[in-house]
Structure 1
């Protein structure tokens, strides 16, 4: 056995042997002894001597000198990355190595050393900015006691607003494809906490899902890692595997190492099972040290050492403290950037107003999370302008031909006008009808107030939603994207600033903090500048530019993936209107509208059954329906925002 080290400044030490008394057999015996002590809830006992001998054997010669230089330069705890490729050596609890002369100066509890297990990957890394609570999503195939224990462990941070407890995935929901469907949906967690069983099958690390028809179902960790990478993009920072053998190495890699390679910045897992009360104490201290407003620094290496110390002190030096290990992908343990963070306790149901309690449950559910608004042009408040425009077109057509049939759809009426009178005259009539810049109705102002960061779509030809957003959320940066026949107009309003046209398309947008508003059918910009809208059947067929061709590829992918992962609130749209159906199909393709989406319709609307059955919707999957008047919807949205249920 040989050891060598490389410093962060490129220093490299020559390999040196650990000695004949510390070979593979002795290391294996040490691993078994620590595991057996943990199973009995006892300290290392006589095995402390082996832990101290290993400490001296590893940290000697060139490594000793390098550690001293780097420790002095660091001015604080020194991160020690253990890069171990041999599966047998990965089973060794290196975190239990101890400094000589001190009974409990273990690596895994040291204030000076932060041991982590390194992962080799080319995936990019940076801390995730978190301005509020750290979102935790638990997956519990068996639900029950383990899930309740974890929530109890997090009760303090949840009450303080430091941790947000997302609705867990439990029981039968932990099956494929339901599990992957949920992982694709908002809200996206910062931490994924798996509670269950793990193991190795045919050399492949696996995690156990919910049983099906009485048979066990197992998921390869690599497949889960691929799904997490596809679904969570840059949001996920930590995976916790509270599993029987979640970190036990296989011939390929441990489940933890596989998930870290797939894109999670860090994975905490256990080398062996621990008692329920020990697991609860470990989780309590881990999350408090990681995310606490007073103590939390977002550093998983520091937090895990804190957790081990807590277990060691609370359980009479039990070797169970060395079961949790962390696989780290990045150059340091800082997973979360808490600069500018503001933490507030969640709103208690006891102080929620009567108005908020009266809100339709479906609307309350969708507004309580990140969603995408699809705002159509079918509003009673705007009907006077549309009716006037329609009457003018009919009158002008009658001057040169037979009067158009009554009840002709707007797209067909405008198409007939363009054929009879010309597209330029149609544009002039549109400007005369819509130039006034009408005041946004209360329901649109309420929607603007409730919208959170992300991607939203408006079909209104007047910039009512854009203006309302700027008024209701002056602190928010807003991008308005309007694809034209040959180019794409992007307007940007920085927080507290004025609208400006960008000379170049942005490569990406921070959809966790900013709003992107798609104006796909064009019209007047927020500065009341006219751009030719889509009105006629030919316009919808030939004048619509797909986002993939109108935007840089990365930005288009980011926008479309957000639309496909967040539930949609569909308002002011009709399934019997051709250009509304076409928009839905162009945005979602053959994929169904995201799960838990909701359509807002008028109480006397006859389309409720169509929405619920999915007739005309992409994938023919139905959505929930809220039937209410504009006044009720505006009042409900206002109550939800006041109660803290919107604009997340």
Structure 2
């Protein structure tokens, strides 16, 4: 990796310093346009609400949002240093490592989705450009290496509470497990993450990488983010983000990397749940955290996991692996417009490298032959019908029904999907189910017929 440029917003929430490494050249500036009551601030807050609700209908709207974010931090001197640093990196055949840092007094700014920063002169998003890698930086303690000794150990922990929306994890796990076919890596999957099972597996397996799939929420009474593990009866066991961070260190050996992600059906707002957990993990000593700031579809999680983990196993730096994962979303139309900016990287590693222990053991991965249509395609296909349901509580109930159907299809061979959907339709009709639920099933059957399944 070539030069790094660290942009730090100081405690007053207004002063910005840019420092380039390794030559320590600096520039100073001021946050512009985020004063209370200003039009720019109100516009950013409006765009932010649209982003959380996934309401962008035109990619150009995200460009405008990204340019508003850019203008907050990049005044004349800081922009000049950024452009100079990027030019130097390009001339040396390197990428510029751009890291954003926010001191405690700038928490409100830190909560903005900076992964959508858009550079107006070059007309590109910083988080997905080939010459850049974008991450968030926490200068809390001495920077260490991510590289483990011996075989890399990855623990995938899944929590699917029966009293919450389904979490569709099977194909994501399959994509991660396939790494063991090509790389010298040990992968364990904890499919029912109760507190006892999770802490025991952390203690005995001592993973270098923890990949958690599940639900997050915000507890307004305590003001803390929460993670849903499982009670013995498999209902949600809500745990504070501080407890979860403590459990990650019970073995005495912290994971070097923690990945926090929500598949479709998981619920969280990064700002209020996983966003609180990620800094806590870094403060505990975890060198890197990748968090999904919005729920993503199962298909998107598969694409990201495959590209991200394969890049790590090849010896690419962590921040570049995340950047590659973001880039894959920009080239695939089936993903929603905001997906490319969903992965957020919190990095405190000195080099960002996780390398395979034995390069000679690397074998090419044989890509699986997938069905022409996936359950995720069906879920995406019914979204326009869901959006037409005006009543929010009804829309939520029908969405949960659609997710349950998709989860059932995940466990079936594609040649059984039509029969299952027809049986479910007859069941809904006999029980006098809602018209919306029958409409969802009919939409899925129509899509299967159009695709010849």
TM-score, structure 1 as length reference: 0.47
The correspondence for 2:30, drawn from 1, 5, 16, is 16
In the TM superposition, residue 253 of structure 1 has moved relative to its aligned partner by: 6.3
Q: Does 1:108 align with 2:127?
A: yes
In the TM superposition, residue 61 of structure 1 has moved relative to its aligned partner by: 1.8
Secondary structure of the structure 2 residue equivalent to 1:217: strand
Q: Does 1:271 align with 2:293?
A: yes
Please give the residue correspondences for 1:137-148 in structure 2 after superposition, counting only pairs within 5 Å: 137-142=155-160, 146-148=168-170
Distance 1:123 1:114 in 2: 22
Kept in 1, the 8 Å contact 2:29–2:75? The answer is no
Q: Does 1:257 align with 2:279?
A: yes
The more displaced of 305-314 and 204-213 is 204-213
Kept in 1, the 8 Å contact 2:157–2:213? The answer is yes
Q: Does 1:125 align with 2:144?
A: yes
Kept in 2, the 8 Å contact 1:34–1:44? The answer is no
Q: Pick closer, same or farther for the CA change 1:127–1:216 going to 2, 3 Å.
A: closer
Kept in 1, the 8 Å contact 2:97–2:132? The answer is yes
Structure 2 counterpart of 1:63: 78
Secondary structure of the structure 2 residue equivalent to 1:249: coil
Please give the residue correspondences for 1:162-201 in structure 2 after superposition, counting only pairs within 5 Å: 163-166=185-188, 168-171=189-192, 174-186=193-205, 188-201=206-219
Secondary structure of the structure 2 residue equivalent to 1:318: coil
Kept in 1, the 8 Å contact 2:209–2:257? The answer is yes
Secondary structure of the structure 1 residue equivalent to 2:295: coil
The correspondence for 1:211, drawn from 212, 231, 242, is 231
In the TM superposition, residue 330 of structure 1 has moved relative to its aligned partner by: 2.3
Q: Pick closer, same or farther for the CA change 1:232–1:240 going to 2, 3 Å.
A: farther
Measured on the aligned residues, the alpha-carbon RMSD in Å equals 3.1
Q: Pick closer, same or farther for the CA change 1:90–1:130 going to 2, 3 Å.
A: same
Structure 2 counterpart of 1:88: 108
Structure 2 counterpart of 1:52: 67
The correspondence for 2:245, drawn from 225, 244, 258, is 225
Please give the residue correspondences for 1:2-13 in structure 2 after superposition, counting only pairs within 5 Å: 3-8=16-21, 9-13=23-27
In the TM superposition, residue 58 of structure 1 has moved relative to its aligned partner by: 2.9
Deviation string for 1:593-616 (max 9, x for gaps)? xxxxxxxxxxxxxxxxxxxxxxxx
Secondary structure of the structure 2 residue equivalent to 1:14: strand
Distance 2:115 2:19 in 1: 19
In the TM superposition, residue 209 of structure 1 has moved relative to its aligned partner by: 0.5
Q: Pick closer, same or farther for the CA change 1:90–1:19 going to 2, 3 Å.
A: closer
Kept in 1, the 8 Å contact 2:148–2:208? The answer is no
Deviation string for 1:45-99 (max 9, x for gaps)? 3331232343355333221232244335543211111112444323322111222
Kept in 2, the 8 Å contact 1:312–1:319? The answer is no
The correspondence for 1:341, drawn from 322, 335, 359, is 359
Q: Pick closer, same or farther for the CA change 1:43–1:261 going to 2, 3 Å.
A: farther
Q: Pick closer, same or farther for the CA change 1:139–1:288 going to 2, 3 Å.
A: same
Secondary structure of the structure 2 residue equivalent to 1:205: strand
In the TM superposition, residue 250 of structure 1 has moved relative to its aligned partner by: 4.2
In the TM superposition, residue 156 of structure 1 has moved relative to its aligned partner by: 4.2
Q: Does 1:31 align with 2:52?
A: no
Kept in 2, the 8 Å contact 1:154–1:163? The answer is no
Distance 1:320 1:298 in 2: 22
Q: Pick closer, same or farther for the CA change 1:17–1:92 going to 2, 3 Å.
A: closer
Kept in 2, the 8 Å contact 1:138–1:195? The answer is yes
Distance 1:345 1:100 in 2: 42
Structure 2: state its 5+ residue gaps.
Answer: 1-13, 365-453
Structure 2 counterpart of 1:478: none
Structure 2 counterpart of 1:301: 319
Give the structure with higher Rg (CA): 1
Structure 1: state its 5+ residue gaps.
Answer: 347-648
Distance 2:98 2:39 in 1: 21
Distance 1:101 1:71 in 2: 13
Distance 1:288 1:340 in 2: 15
- RCO comparison, higher one (Cα < 8 Å, 6+): 2
Structure 2 counterpart of 1:542: none
Q: Pick closer, same or farther for the CA change 1:224–1:157 going to 2, 3 Å.
A: same
